[in-house]
Every structure is written in structure tokens, then in C-alpha cells.
Amino acid sequence: MKFYQRFAYYLVGFIIGCFFVALVLTGKDTRCNYFPNARVLNDLRNKPFNYSIEASRKLSEDWIDTIDIKNTLTYGDVDFDKSNVAYEKGKLYVILGQTIKKDTITLRVINYPNRAVLDDIIRKQRNTPQKK
């Protein structure tokens, strides 16, 4: 069998394989969350999300919004040294992120089996250079 014949058989098989993979993966809510950070954030985003009294009070202030919370739960970094700790019949996760105004924030989220609760929002001020 010549090279171009083998190459033609390869291409036909490759196209059929791509068709079946596309058929299987389309229409499903398929995510590839292999890393722990992505798995934790995905789990927190997919549960009903509630706010504690302290978090609601801080959300009523001007410096943070629910968009900042959603962005942090999407693009934030989980601090695993302080996270995955048993806390009030759930697990506490500390997530680092930033607001739209580039202020660094830390979210303390309690992950229960059926819901997630934003326990507290901690703000870190930007380092502004001081004039002499």
C-alpha cells in the first residue's frame, strides 16, 4: 500500500473520530476541572449562594459589589493553607481575588453540602506611594 493511500485512510478515520467526539461533547455541560483550585471554585459557583449578615453589610458599602464576588469566584485563587478546614458543619475556604477597582480582597466562604455561604469579605488597601 502506498503512502498516499495510507494517509487517505488515516484522514478518513481521523474525521470520523472527530465527528464522534464532537457529537458526544456537544449539548452537555462538560467541564475539565482537573486542578484543585478550579474544582473548588466550580463547586462553590454551582451551589445556591447565600450571604451572612457581615458580608451583606460590607456589600452595601461603595468599595465592593456582587460582580466582584462573582469574578473572584471565577478567577480567584484558593489559599489551601488556610482552607478545607471543618467549620460550622461545613468547610471553610479562603479565596483571594480583586475588585474592579484593583483592590485586593479575601473571601471567607463556608461550603456546606447543599449550599455555600459568604461569611466575610476582607479588604486590603492598595499600596499608594507617599509624597515626601
Please give the pLDDT value at position 47. Answer: 93
Instruction: Give the tens place of pLDDT for each residue, 13-39.
Output: 999 999 988 887 776 666 677 899 999
**C-alpha cell belonging to residue 30:** 462538560
| Residues in the chain, overall count | 132
pTM listed for this prediction: 0.72
- The torsion angle over the Cα atoms of residues 110, 116, 120 and 123, rounded to 10 degrees, is 110
Per-residue pLDDT tens over the stretch 74-100: 999 999 999 988 988 999 999 999 999
Q: What percent of the chain shows pLDDT beyond 90?
A: 68
